[in-house]
């Protein structure tokens, strides 16, 4: 495998909405197969960063490269086709469709002969979804919806999976179940970036590297094992200096 496979680099990124920048010179280096948590207070620019990588906000300066190719400036569909999966925090499943129909829709990017096996792999990874395969997305619990959203995102076998607050609002039991599933996806070789608001210590413990954002900038980046020894969670999420 090439040393640049799955490698994401963000260099001096300025991005936002319309003419209003939210990110101010953000730089990241995400190594292949790493699990990377991005944490920080509300309004730090975490979601804007994920949307910038996907081409969903205005890029004003800087570059984004994935697997050695320049993707900044590409249409979002073409970025996704490069092997980047995305699960937004909200509106991430089709509520009027059944679990099976949601997964079938996600599998449409695959060759026709691959689709049925791909759906079965998702059911093996998320047995709870198989039990709910005939239920509509809107009738699922919060945790089950997150599993369906993640399953729909990984069914086409992305190289990089970006998750925006995947455990937000979930019960402790479902938080553990979803987090464990995400860790299993990462262990299979998929690079994972997840935005963290709730349960930061649990997520950091599962991660390889952590970036701390504040006011649209990267405050620091360090191995996850070191962060809890050197920084105070309350300080990070209050945005204190």
Q: What pLDDT, in 10s, does the model give residues 147-179?
A: 999 999 999 999 999 999 998 888 888 999 999
Instruction: Answer whether residue 133 is part of any domain.
Output: no
Using one digit for the tens of pLDDT, what is the confidence trace for 175-231? 999 999 999 999 999 999 999 887 788 889 999 999 999 999 999 999 998 987 776
pLDDT at 1: 39
Residue 106, in any domain of the structure:
no
In a domain, 108, yes or no: no
Q: In what order do the strands lie in the sheet with 58-66?
A: 20-30, 8-17, 58-66, 69-70
Residue 137 belongs to a domain: no
Cβ-based burial of 58 (10 A; exposed 0-12, middle 13-18, buried ≥19) = middle
CATH number, domain of 233, equals 3.40.50.300
Alpha helices per DSSP H over the chain? 46-53, 76-81, 99-106, 115-125, 127-131, 142-154, 172-187, 200-206, 224-230, 233-238
**pLDDT tens-place string over residues 95-122:** 999 999 999 998 987 899 999 999 999 9
User: Looking at the domain assignment, is residue 231 inside a domain?
Assistant: yes
Beta bridge partners of 37: 194, 210
Q: How far apart are alpha carbons 169 and 141 in whole angstroms? A: 11
Q: What is the pLDDT of residues 14-58, one digit of tens each?
A: 999 989 999 999 999 999 999 999 999 889 999 999 999 999 999
Give the C-alpha separation, 46 to 218, whole Å.
10
Q: How many helices (H) and strands (E) does the chain have?
A: 10, 10
C-alpha span between 167 and 198 (Å, rounded): 7
Place of tokens 């979930």: 170
- The average confidence (pLDDT) of the chain is 90
Q: Which helix (H) or strand (E) holds 87?
A: strand 84-87
Report yes or no on 179 lying in a domain.
yes
Instruction: Estimate the crossing angle of helix 115-125 against helix 99-106, to 10 degrees.
Output: 130
Host domain of residue 36: 8-92+150-238
Q: How far apart are CA 48 and CA 21, in angstroms?
A: 10
230 within a domain of the structure (yes/no):
yes
Structural domain count, the chain: 1
The pTM of this model reads 0.89
115 is a domain residue: no
- Note whether 227 and 208 are within 8 A (CB): no
């Amino acid at each position: 495998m090439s040393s640049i496979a799955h490698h994401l680099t963000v260099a001096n990124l300025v991005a936002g909405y319309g003419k209003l920048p939210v990110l101010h010179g953000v730089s990241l280096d995400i190594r292949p197969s790493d699990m990377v948590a991005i944490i920080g207070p509300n309004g730090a620019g975490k979601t804007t960063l994920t949307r910038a990588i996907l081409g969903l906000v205005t890029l004003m300066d800087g570059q984004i490269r994935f697997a050695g190719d320049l993707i900044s400036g590409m249409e979002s569909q073409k970025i996704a086709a490069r092997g980047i999966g995305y699960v937004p925090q909200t509106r991430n499943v089709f509520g009027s469709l059944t679990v099976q129909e949601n997964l079938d829709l996600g599998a449409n990017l695959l060759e026709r002969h691959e689709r049925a096996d791909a759906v079965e792999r998702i059911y093996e990874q998320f047995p709870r979804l198989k039990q709910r395969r005939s239920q509509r997305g809107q009738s699922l619990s919060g945790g089950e919806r997150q599993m369906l959203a993640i399953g729909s995102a990984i069914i086409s076998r992305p190289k990089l999976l970006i998750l925006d607050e995947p455990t937000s609002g979930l019960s402790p039991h479902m938080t553990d179940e979803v987090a464990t599933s995400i860790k299993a996806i990462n262990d299979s070789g998929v690079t994972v970036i997840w935005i963290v608001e709730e349960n930061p210590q649990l997520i950091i413990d599962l991660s390889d590297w952590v970036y701390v954002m504040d006011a649209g900038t990267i405050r620091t980046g360090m191995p996850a094992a070191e962060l809890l020894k050197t920084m105070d969670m309350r300080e990070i999420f209050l945005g204190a200096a």
